Structure 1
Amino acid sequence: MAEYLEEEDHSEENDELYEHHRIVVDKGQALLRVDKFLMDRLPNVTRNKLQEAIRSESIQINGKPAKVSYKVKPQDVITIVLPEAPRETDILPEDIPLVIPYEDDDLLLVNKQPGMVVHPAYNNWTGTLVNALVYHLQNLPTTRNGAGRPGLVHRIDKDTSGLLVIAKTEYSMAFLAKQFFDHSIERTYYAMVWGVPANDTGTIVGHIGRSVKDRKVMTVYPAGDYGKHAVTHYKVLRRFKYVSLVQCNLETGRTHQIRAHMKYMGHPLFSDATYGGDRIIYGAPNGTYKSFVENAFKLMPRQALHAKSLGFIHPVTKEFMQHDSELPDDFKALLDKWALYEDQ
């Protein structure tokens, strides 16, 4: 028997959709090729997926990239990063328009619009990004004849807009998933937050875990006794009277990381109902200012968060790719509204 240490991270915001396994080979194990050895120990994994994971260096043995021909030996330590196996088997393709700023034979980028759920789940079985992708990519093998989750290696919340990278082959899925696991993907977000941070730049470090009072809410635990290590770098791009436009760069990818970290700083995202940003936090809550903010909430009836850019190494060319996106219309309108208010 092999000993297992398996870690999984199934979050909603910035979800790294991978499985992480660590297997210590038993002392009595006979020599066996690594893909055959793992076939019997990992659920829902095909030989092809394992071989592609080996090619992308997502499987390591004793700290070194494995080779397809390698035969496992007693006491070998095998670590594996794989795209998470699909959990749904009946995802209907839907002809939903997508904004695709880049596409090639191996991957594509989607600029997700606010309000679109990424993956089908309870109360959201249709109209999701995955339903649209299954339609767009229905002739590709990664869609498993229209079922499963085509190429999704990360995701963002329903009410967060911006860029997502989608893999179109098993090899690309494995290669991109490892970059997310290694935190080597460059991700830049724009956020409108309440208040004006004291410093123009800074780094927020604090473990993030689910609140003991409400599991839908993430809480920062600065002492690190609970939750997962999380690091967010921020830069103030523009200061208004009571709010600020902030650039956030993720070093890790935890559930609601930016939203939880900015609230922890005392600057929750504008219009973020989950984290208290849907009320007036800075400025007197009365008179014409109150009416102004209420109208601003109507312009941006969601958290003011946009996945602005993505940078990663292409799985085939091995070149670094950097893609940027424009802010959506509601975010632009919100900025314009605060700029006019400041000029009054």
Structure 2
Amino acid sequence: MIPAQQDDDATDDDLTVLEARIEATGRRLDRALAEAFPDLSRARLQALLALGAVTVDGEPVTTASAKARAGLYAVTVPALISATPLPQAIPLTVLYEDEDLIVIDKAAGMAAHPAPGTPDGTLVNALLAHCGDSLSGIGGVARPGIVHRLDKDTSGVMVAAKSDRAHAGLSALFATHDIERTYIALTRGAPNPAKGRIESRLGRSNTDRKKMAVLRTGGREAITDYVVQAVYGTPAKPGASPMAARIACTLHTGRTHQIRVHMASKGAPILGDATYGSGSPAVPVRAAIAEAGLTRQALHAAVLGFVHPITRAAMRFETPLPQDMTALEALLADL
């Protein structure tokens, strides 16, 4: 069995949402959906149901054998990736490497693996060139060696498996959350209180299936500890939030876009986040973003710690902020 991929701060691009209304009830749900969506096979629909990619009137449905009820059904279909990735000689910042695994400092703008809209130029392409045939194949044709993911525009520390035994061991560590993961985020405003834990359910938004959201029911448990390390910009009123802040976020789960959604839910979205950064930063902050040349969310996976799955040695890697976030933080400090 292939170990489950860990979500971390992954993104899912080029999703297609199909909609159809089902009036008749009483039939098995998968059969009714197959008639309503003739371009999707019944087996494909069963798989999408199991993934929570089907809703009726905005409510997720997951049981293929359940009776269909009348309503508007939406099916979120990720595009299929059929091409086998090819090795590409892309420079990598390697922090550690042995015969079983490799740790790299991923640059912003590099996707973890091929996906719709990003067929190459990914970490997988680079690893195939760097590691050759030693890269673990457990992750499948499109994702060899990948045991967790960072969003394309999130920089920072990632580990990949070079051997199947390391892949299985690392996947187990991520599945049980026996991994130290700390991210640094630059945010609009600051969360209140300045230190705390966010516990919620995260899942696909009922209003925009390409986004994640905090849900009252359904979804998956998501836990983030955060601490405000610095604030920038004098608040306009006493007790008001500062213009920006530097936040350290420690993950206890690894859900899609977890930190980005959690910070937004605390009223402190990550600067530069076009998906979850509702509202506009103060004018001086916008000017600082432009001057720093930040064109992505200001989020960096700074720390990754784990027990080596083969040698059992304690491993811990920490990397500084990349140039765009360093420049932005320096400019924010002068506000």
The alignment's TM-score, normalised by the length of structure 2, stands at: 0.71
In structure 2, the residue matched to 1:13 is 9
What is the alpha-carbon distance in structure 2 between the residues aligned to residue 148 and residue 293 of structure 1? 38
Structure 1: tracts of 5 or more residues without a match:
1-5, 16-86, 284-289
Shift of 1:139: 3.0
* 2:226 corresponds to 1:230: no
Shift of 1:158: 0.6
Shift of 1:307: 0.3
Shift of 1:147: 5.1
Deviations 1:287-316 (CA, angstroms, capped at 9, x unpaired): xxx265144145211111000010101012
What is the alpha-carbon distance in structure 2 between the residues aligned to residue 10 and residue 252 of structure 1? 9
Deviations 1:250-299 (CA, angstroms, capped at 9, x unpaired): 0000000000011111111111110125722xx4xxxxxx2651441452
Structure 2: tracts of 5 or more residues without a match:
12-80, 234-242
* Cα distance, 1:126–1:175 mapped onto 2, change above 3 Å: same
Shift of 1:320: 1.6
What is the alpha-carbon distance in structure 2 between the residues aligned to residue 94 and residue 278 of structure 1? 39
Alignment of 1:184-263 (within 5 A): 184-221=178-215, 223=216, 225-241=217-233, 242-263=243-264
SS of equivalent to 2:334: helix
In structure 2, the residue matched to 1:111 is 105
Deviations 1:54-105 (CA, angstroms, capped at 9, x unpaired): xxxxxxxxxxxxxxxxxxxxxxxxxxxxxxxxx7561110000001111111
What is the alpha-carbon distance in structure 1 between the residues aligned to residue 126 and residue 99 of structure 2? 18
What is the alpha-carbon distance in structure 1 between the residues aligned to residue 4 and residue 119 of structure 2? 23
Work out whether residues 232 and 258 of structure 1, in 8 Å CA contact, stay in contact via their aligned partners in 2: yes
Bigger RCO of structures 1 and 2 (CA < 8 A, at least 6 apart): 2
SS of equivalent to 2:173: helix
User: Of residues 142, 167, 172 in structure 1, which corresponds to 2:166?
Assistant: 172
* Cα distance, 1:10–1:200 mapped onto 2, change above 3 Å: closer
SS of equivalent to 2:185: strand
What is the alpha-carbon distance in structure 2 between the residues aligned to residue 126 and residue 141 of structure 1? 17
Shift of 1:8: 5.7
Q: Pairwise CA RMSD of aligned residues?
A: 2.3
Shift of 1:239: 1.1
In structure 1, the residue matched to 2:38 is none
Work out whether residues 119 and 129 of structure 1, in 8 Å CA contact, stay in contact via their aligned partners in 2: yes
* Cα distance, 1:255–1:148 mapped onto 2, change above 3 Å: closer
The alignment's TM-score, normalised by the length of structure 1, stands at: 0.69
